[in-house]
Amino acid sequence: MVRDLRKQSHEEVHCAQYIRPGAELSNRTSNTTNGLPDDELRREQEFIDDLYARVDALRGGTEDSVTDALAQGSTPMQARLERDVLVAERSGLLAALNAVDGSLCFGRIDLADPSDSPPSATSSGATHHIGRIGIRADDTEHTPILIDWRAPVARPFYLATGHTPMGLRRRRHITTEGRTVTALHDEILDLGDQMRTGHEDPTGDAVLLSALNSARTGRMSDIVQTIQAEQDRIIRAPHRGILVVEGGPGTGKTVVALHRAAYLLYEHRELLAKRAVLIVGPNPAFLGYIGEVLPSLGETGVLLATVGELFPGVRATASDTPEAAAVKGRADMADVLAAVVRDRQALPDPVIAIEHDRDILMLDAGLVGVARDRTREARLPHNVAREHFEGHIFNTLTDMVAERIGTDPFDGTNLLDPSDITQIRDDLAENPEVWAAIDRLWPRVTPRRLVADFLAEPDAYLTVADAEAVRRPVTRAWTTSDVPLLDEAAELLGEDDRTTRAAAEQERDRQVAYAQGVLDVSYASRTYEFEDIDAEDAEVLSAHDIIDAERMAERHEEDDHRSAAERAAADRTWAFGHIIVDEAQELSPMAWRLLMRRSPTRSMTLVGDPAQTAEAAGVGSWSEILAPYVEDRWEHTRLAVNYRTPSEIMDVAAAVLRAEHADFEPPSSVRSTGVRPWARRTSDLAGAVEKAVADLTPVEGRLAVIAPRALHGVLAARIDGVVAGESPDLTLGVVLLDPRQAKGLEFDAVLVVEPGAFGTSDLYVALTRATQSLGIVHTTPLPKPLAESF
């Protein structure tokens, strides 16, 4: 049953009264109240000082234990294994401590006093500080001193309202610069509570608005301090099954998905640390843009990849035309590739003659056809099935030889015994002509060979127009839409891993022998005291007693130092613990096939906005994507508040979509800036762009010029310090992009150039990237809905 959360999330939006379009920004950073020294600030500073003293001690201790462990050098195998586990665990803790340093603690909740005594601002035991990771005191109880934001205890920090205080009387946001507390914002949740701190934030939205108005850095930041209730429910939704999160631009889909990854890693650490979480994004620039969010939350063991990076050993460096990408992404390409593979299982035309033992053996289409049919009946992937095909061909040829040399000329019976038959078979196996025939009839094929050959000569499998769209000479430059084809081909072909298996067997024998040697040494080196103890009474066990050589060798095999994410990146058949797909509306049916193979448990979060679909290969509806895999067993939820785009800009963007879809409902903007977007028509495009860039470039923050690709050369020459290219550095002041590259990104100011050249969804994406101001420069007439907006 599909549970539609839409209704619920709309209700939640209404509950979030503290989100008010047009609210004034408040960003207090005083450390005094009414000119008096501020006890509240001082007390929080003392807490933060103590917290960092504990963190520094933890870090020092962790560094020492890692250094000591690594210095142990060559030790017995068991000790080495334990050392590796310790190093991995401690290194993870160190990475987390280092990543969150400087912004460790950001909030506090004061619980309502259960007793009748009047509440006090600082009653100890009734407050919890909330941070990016959890920290415990160095006492015997390991008392928590900082609560991880993901822990259930921290949840009221995000959900409590005056209406539903969830046991809180106050919520405090703590703003720090490095290790210094610079501001406090308190919300009173227990309206009967008379206690005031001098830091009250009457609207409760100062910290959120400050975050939304802050200058952009070219890197997405976490929102752990200001997660909104509707977002929190998505972040903490159960990890099983498929959850679709839909929402317009700027509704926080990406950032919510990233916090969800961090939450799931916390909640299901054991499972997910082993199986890893995969986050799929639309392009490498986008992955760079979001890449710092998880480390800032203390999580590093996540694999971020585009679909083009999910076939180990292949990097998609070339690009496809939209037509080619659309054909390659179609679901029926799976059948096409299956037909291509079947065509590699050939029949002789008309016969193959094999010279053997001064005789000629003829393999004709009838004989080979029987071998082929029997092999296909096993329904194995092509390369794996080859072993069966070889067997059938050897049987056929052995029968032929046996018949020729062993038949009794008098009564027609066969005079050969089983050892003669084995000998004939062995002789045939020595004959290179037999192997050459098998290679022609059932060749081993790699996925790359198969796909490259198919794309070079697609005519037998596609219509004339489709074949024309995808045709290209054999090359090593792969495109993103080739990767799902390679993955499909790898599934159809399988791996003939006989050689690898044999090598692995040998290696295993070697390791068992080595482990046996270790155990023998450990047995021989038992102390005499042990020998003296009567075996019955002995309580001291040697390694020999508790582990055998097989098990010890197995443990050695497990001794792989790579993280789960690293191993997953190198393994095409890896099954991830959870997969998050951003801009999910862009993926083709073939890309979905690839992703579903990586998620056999179907534990996935898909975020996207169908209104922003640009790829011709993209899928139109969520049920169309998901029905083949889970029918209607998936959940849908919607985010409806736009945290990025001020209402003045969103009105213009919404008009563009409404022109095509009259009932289009844009997300409601949380802010208005009072700054109207503008449009200038010009006959000197480059000159007007140069001037507009000067006008729009923020003092602090970033500007994006979003222009058709064909204009990039001309514009780059005229704009000072601009960067352009496939994956431009988004941390620089001015960036030149086309709408596809701008997808998912945001900037303080945006200049859209020649919007008449964009399709509707590209234009919508371009118009919704700015957090503060938007300008448009054009030589050709504006699209009608835009023209009507100015």
Tokens of 60: 């020092």
517 annotated as a binding-site residue: no
Binding segment for ligand ATP (CB under 6 A), chosen from 248-256, 332-340, 622-630, 781-789, is 248-256
Give the footprint of ligand ATP on residues 195-214 (CB under 6 A): 208, 211-212
Q: Are 619 and 228 in contact (CB under 8 A)?
A: no
Tokens of 360: 């000629």
743 annotated as a binding-site residue: no
499 annotated as a binding-site residue: no
CB of 775 to ligand ATP, least distance (A): 19
Give 11-49 as a DSSP string: HHHHH-TT--TTPPP-----SEETTEE-HHHHHHHHHHH
136 φ, ψ (degrees, to nearest 5): -115, 155
Binding segment for ligand ATP (CB under 6 A), chosen from 249-257, 354-362, 484-492, 590-598, is 249-257
* Residue 356 zone, left/alpha/beta (φ > 0; ψ -120 to 50; rest): beta
Three-state DSSP class for residue 772:
strand
253 touching ligand ATP, by CB under 6 A = yes
Nearer to ligand ATP, 253 or 778 (CB): 253
701 annotated as a binding-site residue: no
CB of 248 to ligand ATP, least distance (A): 7
Give 633-680 as a DSSP string: -EEEEEE-EESSS-HHHHHHHHHHHHTT-TT--PPEES---SPPPEEE
Task: Name which of 375, 280, 338 is nearest 490 in CA terms.
Answer: 338
Give the footprint of ligand ATP on residues 753-782 (CB under 6 A): 768
Burial 175-185 (b: 16+ CB within 10 A, else e): bbeebebbbbb
Nearer to ligand ATP, 302 or 519 (CB): 302
Give the footprint of ligand ATP on residues 633-672 (CB under 6 A): 643-644
Three-state DSSP class for residue 567:
helix
| Binds ligand ATP (CB under 6 A): choice among 175, 197, 210, 251 | 251
CB of 703 to ligand ATP, least distance (A): 16
Side chain identity at residue 302, one-letter code: V
22 annotated as a binding-site residue: no
CA trace torsion 567, 571, 573, 579 (10° rounding): 50
* Spatial CB neighbours of 238, under 8 Å, sequence gap ≥ 6: none
Nearer to ligand ATP, 348 or 667 (CB): 667
CB of 251 to ligand ATP, least distance (A): 4
CB of 23 to ligand ATP, least distance (A): 14
Three-state DSSP class for residue 584:
helix
744 annotated as a binding-site residue: no
249 touching ligand ATP, by CB under 6 A = yes
Give the footprint of ligand ATP on residues 598-617 (CB under 6 A): 609
CB of 626 to ligand ATP, least distance (A): 20
Nearer to ligand ATP, 223 or 371 (CB): 223
Nearer to ligand ATP, 254 or 383 (CB): 254
| Binds ligand ATP (CB under 6 A): choice among 156, 165, 204, 250 | 250
Element (H, E) at 111: strand 105-111
Task: Name which of 724, 704, 681 is nearest 767 in CA terms.
Answer: 704
Question: Judging by DSSP bridges, how do beta strands 604-608 and 242-247 pair with one another?
Answer: parallel
107 touching ligand ATP, by CB under 6 A = no
Nearer to ligand ATP, 201 or 390 (CB): 201
Burial of residue 690 (CB within 10 Å: 0-12, 13-18, 19+) is: middle
CB of 223 to ligand ATP, least distance (A): 4
CB of 293 to ligand ATP, least distance (A): 9
Number of residues forming the site for ligand ATP (CB under 6 A): 22
Burial 532-567 (b: 16+ CB within 10 A, else e): eeeeeeeeeeebeeebebeebbbebeeeeeebbbee
| Binds ligand ATP (CB under 6 A): choice among 161, 231, 585, 761 | 231
Nearer to ligand ATP, 16 or 368 (CB): 16
Give the footprint of ligand ATP on residues 254-293 (CB under 6 A): 254-255
Binding residues for ATP: 247-254
Annotated binding site: 247-254
Contact residues for ligand ATP, defined by CB under 6 A = 208, 211-212, 223, 226-228, 231, 247, 249-255, 609, 643-644, 744, 746, 768
